[in-house]
Each structure stands twice: as C-alpha cells, then as structure tokens.
Structure 1
Amino acid sequence: GVLYYKDLQDLLLNSSDDDFGDNESISTSDTCCTGRVCMTETAAELEAVFIPVLYSLALIVGLLGNGLVLAVLCQLRRSWSITDTFILHLLVADTLLLFTLPFWAAEIAQGWSFGTPLCKLMGAIFKVNFYCGIFLLTCISLDRYLSIVHAVQMYSRGKSWKVHASCLGVWLICLLLSIPDWIFLQQLEDERSKTVKCTYNYLAYKTSVKDWQEASRWLYHIVGFIIPSIIMVFCYSSILLRLFRGSQGFKKQRAIRVILVLVLAFFICWTPYNITLIVDTLHANRTLNETCESTIILELLLSATAALGYIHCCLNPILYAFVGGRFRHHLLKCVCVCVFAITSARAKILLP
C-alpha cells in the first residue's frame, strides 16, 4: 500500500525528467537496482502471504473491539467525560483505517487493481487517521496538563459541544494535511517488479521532483510526529511530577492511567515506522550512503513497522478492557446482554 513501497521518485531517482516513461533510458546505480530485484524475489513473496493474513485478523478483531467500545460509550452517553468524547473520535478514525486494510492486503497479494481514485482515497484515509490519532492524543494531553498542573479547565462539563468542535477542527486540519496524497498518489506500474502499485508520482510535476517529495515527507515527519511528540512528552512529564508531589497522587494517577497507556501504545506502534521513514527520507536524498544492503533492509523495515502501525487501530479496545475499570465493567455488561440475546434467540428457534 501507500506504506510498503518506496515512492516512484525513489525508483527513478537518478533519471532525468525527460526519461520518464522510457524504461531503457532510466539511469540508476547497479547496487540500487540489484537491491530492489533481491527485495522482489525474497521479502515480497513472504509479504504476499503473511501481511494479508495479519490484516485479516486485525480487521476482525478491530471491528469487533471498536464495536464493543461504541456500545459502551452509548451506555455512558449521559455521563460522558471529556476524555470519552476524544475516545469516540479516536474510535471513528481507527474504524476508517480498518476498512482500508482489505485494499492494502489485496495490493500486497496481487498488486493494486482498484484504480487511481481509490488509491488516492485509501492513502488519504491512512494519512488522516495517523494525523487524527496523534493530534487527538495531543489535545487530551494539553487538557490534562492544564487541568492538573495549572488547575485550568479547558472545557466545561456542561458544554460538550466545545469538545466536539475542537475534534471537528482536528479533522479539518487532518484533511488539509492529506492534500499531498490527493495530488500525488496514483496507480502506476513498477517496471522492475512488474507489479501495479498505489504509489506517489512526484514525476507528474517535472520541475521540482525532489522538492515535492522532500516537502511532503518532512511535513509528515515534523507536523505529524515530532512536534506532537514533544508536546505530549512535556505535558505528561509535568503531570507526573505534579502528581508525585501532591497528596492525592495515587488516586489521580489512576484517573489518567488509561490516557497514558493509550499514548504509550501509540508511540510503541508508530515510532518504529516514523523513525524508519525518516531514515528512508535521508537515504532517498543521498544524505545517507545508499547500498544494496541498506535498500533491502529499509524496505523490509518499512513493511514490518507499517504493519505494526496498522495493528494499533485494533489495539485500543483491548487496552480499555485491561486498564479502564469503568470501561471493563460496562464492557462485561454489554457482553452479557449480547450472550443473553443470542441464547434467547436460539432457544426460540429450537422450541416448537
């Protein structure tokens, strides 16, 4: 998918703009070319089997888990907290990403066959989901920081519409940040691996191929990961220091435990991919030395870390169940109601 293949500009990095579309005139280094052939013959075959199975399991577990979270939130709708509202929007973002998994699994197994419009849509959904996830967690961090450290209520409990308005603002910003995906993503054939991919075509804008790629990548790195990460680390470091100094530290720590676990899970799942992508960006613009081995290793790491990132969208419901006491109580209640309903329906069918 968008995550698993280096940009088309990387494949033709040393070619001139006039050479695009003329495979015989593409000039690339032998080591780079050899590395990509090696990648096609080894890791691609493993991905075609392993990744679709993994994504199928993630889709099933994610839809089931997010459905249960939604059911619990519906039960709690009269006593929603500010955090619950943010969790609802995180749930929507994760669910949207889950629906893209069959497309990425199909691409890995047999190439992209859904056309350019769906390529742009699926790529944009991924980017919006990632931005939404980290921006919403940043909003929660700022809210908790102001409330606990400075005793300032960012949102009043009686005006939940303000929280929803903030979340809608986050969605709008994320949509704007996905504009490069709407512009550059296309269905294209990779002449080397003889496969059709959903990938970035920076060569469509011949005057500044490298500038377009680097600007898009660094926008993703800085705005979508580095700045929010710094904000969250600062907020939670300040919160923990304040809690340990206070007389009700343990009680308050339990109150933010779910949020801390969600943030840690996000970083555990997405940090490896983002670090690998930053290295890949430096590798592509020749800041780092490019060799056959480094190219193969980077593509393997991008594939593996991207899969870890996708798994995050089905992980949050599990975390709620194990960490959040209130959520666990209502979850068990929902499960009992569902089991009772299914049992009653079967009994009615079996009875004459």
Structure 2
Amino acid sequence: MWLLSLAVADFTFSLLLLLPITELALDSHWPFGLLLCKLNYGALMLCLYASIFTLAAISVDRCISVVLPVWSRNHRGPRLAALLSLGVWVAAAALSAPTFTFRQLVSLGNRRGCYTDYLLEGEWPAQTTMDYGDEDDQVMKEWPLSLHDARYRAVSLAGFLLGFLLPFLVITTSYSIIVLRLRWGHLAPSGVKPFKFIAAIILAFLLCWMPYHICSMLDLLLPHGELFPLVLSVVFQLSYILTYFNICINPVLYIFTWQDFRDAAPTSCQLPLG
C-alpha cells in the first residue's frame, strides 16, 4: 500500500510535468487557460507533498516493524496502511491548497505566463478620483504588497517546516532507531545492505531538498532588486532540478531495494516472545 501511494504520487508528478515543459518550450507562454494553470500546478504540489509524506510514513512503518515486531504482526495490515495513505494525501492537499488558490495567469507583453500571485482579484484598492493626501496614498499603495508578502512568507515557512524539516526529522529519527535496533540486537550482520540503503535514503532526501529550501529561506531574508537575489533566482532554478531528481530516484531506493530490507530488517519479527 505504501509503495502504491508513492508510485501514484511520483508517476503522476512526472506526467504533469508535460504542460510546464510545453510552457518553457513556448518561451514561458501558457496557452492552456486559467483552469489548467491552477489544476496542473496545484496537482504538482499535491503529488510532491504526497511523495514526501509517504516517504516519512514508510520510515515510521519500517521502524515500528523492527522495534515492535509482535504488535506489528498483530495490528499492521493493508487496511490500516490504506487509511493512513488516505490521511497522507489529505495532508498533502491541505499544504498544496495555496497553489490551487493563488496560481494565476500573468500577462507578459504578448505572452501569458502561469505564476503564483498572492493577491486575489479585487484585493487591490479600487481606483478612484478622490484626492488622497500623500500619506494616505502611500498607505493605499503599500497595504496590498504587505498582504502579498505576508502570504508568501506564510506559505514558504509552512513548506519549509511541514514539507521538509518535519519529514526529514521523522525519516532520520526512524531510520536511526532501526540502525540502533539492528546493531544492538545483533539482528543483522555489520555492513549488510539495509544499512547502506538507510544512509542512501537520508542523504538523498537531504541533498535533493536542502538546496531548494535554503534558497527559499534566503529569498525571504534578502531584499529584492539587488544583484545577489538575481543570482539566487538562477540557483533557485537549479535547485528545482534536484527536487525533481528525488522523485526519479525514489523507485530505485524504495522499490528495487525493498527486498534487501525485508530480508534483513524483519528478522526481529521472528524472535520468540520474552
């Protein structure tokens, strides 16, 4: 069930990249309309967070199977995994909701691009012919930008805390407990494949996602309009490649090596009571 959830998320994410690739090929022009703009990018974020949360859930599930073998044998099953997988997708939907809400078509000369705009239609002050004082006029111009920045910061921080830091801590803690359990309990020989596999999982997640979130946090802290943010925007694009690469290597890490883990780690489940 966990692998099915992961496969659906990763494959759907890869399939949905076809439209953004088309947009890039058309020089950042989005010809598919507003509805597909929202649905495609919203679904991309949904699958991305579902993949991340599923990786964290798999690590917890494996940890429980090793640390609590008797309880695991009596209570873990496909039905429970299916319910928890549904919860994972609901949590991913909640975190991707801002993308569905704020993705908009933005005019760029004779082109229209699909971008995130944290100000909805009607939230800009209405244009009037009233004679505002200089101070009032400045407030009228600044408050929408403040609302935009507040939403951008909230979404970015939520993505960092819930979409990276928390899953990384869960993955690292769960697999660290598994390693300690297997080492201390002499349940697997030193140098067995699961230990290298566990290290690869943690490093892959860290190396693929940390550059993106470092850029995201720097973008929140640095003032706009300077040279470094321009360089940062290029690094930002490169960091996207790494996040997409993590989607590509998930099948290698979690499916093709699944049997190696099963052959070694679940030996604890064969221990007699007491």
| Structure 1 and Structure 2 fold alike (TM over 0.5) | yes
Q: Residues 247 and 319 (structure 1 numbering): CA distance in 2 closer, same or farther, change over 3 Å? A: closer
**Counterpart residue number, 2:167:** 228
Instruction: State how far apart, in whole Å, the 1-side matches of 2:86 and 2:73 are.
Output: 15
Q: Residues 196 and 250 (structure 1 numbering): CA distance in 2 closer, same or farther, change over 3 Å? A: farther
Q: Identity, % of aligned pairs?
A: 30
**Counterpart residue number, 2:227:** 293
Q: Which has the higher contact order (CA 8 A, sep 6+)?
A: 1
The alignment of Structure 1 onto Structure 2 pairs a total of residues equal to 236
1:143 aligns with 2:61: yes
Instruction: State how far apart, in whole Å, the 1-side matches of 2:71 and 2:219 are.
Output: 42
Instruction: State how far apart, in whole Å, the 2-side matches of 1:144 and 1:318 are.
Output: 17
1:131 aligns with 2:49: yes
Structure 2 counterpart SS, 1:250:
coil
**Equivalent residue in structure 2 for 1:197, among 90, 113, 121:** 113
* C-alpha contact 1:258 1:320 (8 A) present in aligned 2: no
Shift of 1:120: 0.9
**Counterpart residue number, 1:107:** 23
CA displacement 1:281-308 (0-9 Å, x = unmatched): 223xx4xxx4532122111111111022
1:241 aligns with 2:175: no
1:314 aligns with 2:248: yes
Aligned residue runs from structure 1 range 14-29, under 5 A: none
Q: Which amino acid letter does the alignment assign opposite residue 169 of structure 2?
A: I
Instruction: State how far apart, in whole Å, the 1-side matches of 2:67 and 2:191 are.
Output: 12
* C-alpha contact 2:49 2:163 (8 A) present in aligned 1: yes
Structure 2 counterpart SS, 1:249:
coil
Structure 1 counterpart SS, 2:189:
helix
- The TM-score with structure 2 as length reference comes to 0.75
* C-alpha contact 1:243 1:253 (8 A) present in aligned 2: no
1:273 aligns with 2:212: yes
More moved, 91-100 vs 228-237: 228-237
**Equivalent residue in structure 1 for 2:91, among 150, 163, 173:** 173
**Counterpart residue number, 2:82:** 164
**Counterpart residue number, 1:188:** 106
* C-alpha contact 2:164 2:209 (8 A) present in aligned 1: no
**Counterpart residue number, 2:271:** none
Shift of 1:260: 5.2
Instruction: State how far apart, in whole Å, the 2-side matches of 1:251 and 1:145 are.
Output: 19
Q: CA RMSD in A?
A: 2.8
Shift of 1:261: 3.4
Shift of 1:259: 5.7
- The TM-score with structure 1 as length reference comes to 0.60
CA displacement 1:146-182 (0-9 Å, x = unmatched): 3333546457477311111110111112112211111
Q: Residues 129 and 253 (structure 1 numbering): CA distance in 2 closer, same or farther, change over 3 Å? A: farther
Q: What 5-or-longer segments of structure 1 have no aligned partner?
A: 1-84, 328-352
* C-alpha contact 2:194 2:260 (8 A) present in aligned 1: no
Instruction: State how far apart, in whole Å, the 1-side matches of 2:97 and 2:255 are.
Output: 36
Q: Residues 152 and 261 (structure 1 numbering): CA distance in 2 closer, same or farther, change over 3 Å? A: farther
Q: Which amino acid letter does the alignment assign opposite residue 183 of structure 1?
A: T
Shift of 1:318: 3.7
